[in-house]
């Protein structure tokens, strides 16, 4: 996620821009510990993980109503995105540490 401090997004839009869901499958559900519903997890952090799937249709409907993208990715794409984000963060830290 590109961080743009000049944009004043509402809280829900910020949560939806900062995360995505992983395509649903029994394997992905097991592998992620029911956190393949990251969007719902970010919007409802205290909701038990095993109930996140129940909120998904409501969140999708809300996104469609307001023209907000509801992102889903394959597990491998999501993991690759995480690694790229960590790499970018590490490079920013290293640059600040060495030249800051």
Query: What is the residue whose two structure tokens read 């004043």?
Result: 8
Alpha helices in 1-100 (DSSP H): 11-18, 26-31, 38-43, 52-66, 75-99
Does 86 have pLDDT greater than 90? Answer: yes
The two structure tokens encoding residue 35 = 């956190």
Summarize pLDDT for 22-75 with one digit per residue, the tens: 999 999 999 998 889 999 999 999 999 999 999 999 999 999 999 999 999 999
Q: Cβ(37)–Cβ(56) under 8 Å?
A: yes
Domain ranges of the chain: 11-74
Please report the pLDDT score of residue 3 as a whole number: 58
Residue of 9 and 62 predicted with greater confidence:
62
């Amino acid at each position: 996620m590109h961080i743009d401090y000049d944009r004043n997004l509402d809280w829900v839009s910020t949560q939806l821009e900062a995360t995505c869901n992983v395509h649903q499958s029994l394997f992905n559900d097991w592998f992620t510990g029911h956190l393949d519903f990251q969007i719902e997890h970010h919007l409802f952090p205290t909701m038990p993980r095993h109930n996140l799937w129940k909120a998904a249709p409501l969140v999708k409907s809300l996104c469609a109503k307001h023209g907000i993208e509801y992102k889903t990715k394959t597990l491998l794409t999501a993991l690759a995105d995480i690694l790229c984000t960590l790499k970018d963060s590490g490079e920013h830290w290293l640059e600040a540490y060495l030249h800051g």
